[in-house]
Structure 1
Amino acid sequence: MYIPPHFAEQSPEELQRVMRDHPLGMLVTHGETGLDADHIPFAFDAQAGPHGTLSAHVARANPLWQRCPSGSPVMVVFRGAQAYISPNWYPSKHEAHRQVPTWNYEVVHAHGVLTVHDDERFVRRLLAGLTKRHEAAEPRPWKMGDSAPEFIDGLLQHIVGIEIAITSLVGKFKLSQNKEVRDRQGAADTLEERQQPGLAQAMRQTLPGSQSQSGRSSAG
């Protein structure tokens, strides 16, 4: 991934935020038939290993877990907030007319080593954790115990667990850091007005003087 220095994100906290807030990752693998990609929701454990661990499950019918055995190097791509940016949102455009459209985004590449867990206990524990997290906002959260045990037991036979020990995290946050402060603020304000608060907030956090920017400078 090409990363100009002003778009490089090195804060572990920010990289982990994207993985937690946008858990649907693109798992990129390479086998005998070439490159492939699977889109899978991951659970992230920051405490497991130097850079954390990603866990997920796939259908037993998915050849991924046989095509890429334990020990295979893989990469998972997580995409955070993203949106089109019009030059009309930059105050400087209306003075010099020297701005063009662009696209802002947050992306994290997690490189690691895959382990296959064809183990019902692993999968059951993983599913319980995933549903507990993603059902938390529901008025009456669904849990595995709501279904008949034999129904859940049958479903567990049709999925396989995978785990990725992360070896490195690479982040690119393209948030108009190469623009004037007033242009960055103008774009963020317009995004807020157009119901894109996540990207607007991310852009504001990179502005000089923001608390998050100070933290990034210390970490980087």
Structure 2
Amino acid sequence: MKPPPSAPRSLTSLLDTLDPDNPATGADRKRRDAHNGLTIQAMLDRVGGRSFGAALLVPALILVSPLSIIPLMPTIGGLLILTIAIQAFFGRKHLWLPKFLASRRLSGDQLTRAVQYLRRPAAWLDRKSRDRLRFLSAPPMDRIALLAVMVVAATWPFLEILPMFTSVSAGGVALVAFALMVRDGVILIGGYTVLGGSLAVVVALISGLV
């Protein structure tokens, strides 16, 4: 029986697992599976179904990339992040996704564009990350981070017409998820700052409509 994949410990290694042009860490060269595209379930299988921080990063990074302009992508990404974060919040050991989300697929070209776009900022964050203020990302404080992620992601389906807003907001989710993965409280604070700004925009929009 094939052992489950070990969870990525950096953004660069996570991107490697999704890169169609990097079969050594992701795609099967003989089947060229990633070159034909990957479903959401296949992406999460590559990063490990028990690493919720890495799992949260997958849809968050997709939304940070130019793929966020695809119609319904912010809604699907928001539902994915909500589903993952809720399970992590309640301490589920293995990630489960409903079929209508798990079966969503990105083409090989879309994956390649997203990975290439994210390589440079991912490498920069990997260099800057440290084991700092660990208590902020450890239980029970990690539940605050997951709750913040859920609240922000829940707004995305209603703000589909603002793709740039979704990308910035997803960047905050990506920072929080990365901080939980590498136990860096400083990066977590940065993620909270972006998420707080996103919520402030939502509140301002709601206030303007009332």
TM-score when scaled to structure 1? 0.26
Q: Determine which structure has more spread, i.e. the larger CA radius of gyration.
A: 1
Q: Which structure has greater helix proportion? A: 2
TM-score (norm 2): 0.27
Higher strand fraction (1 or 2): 1
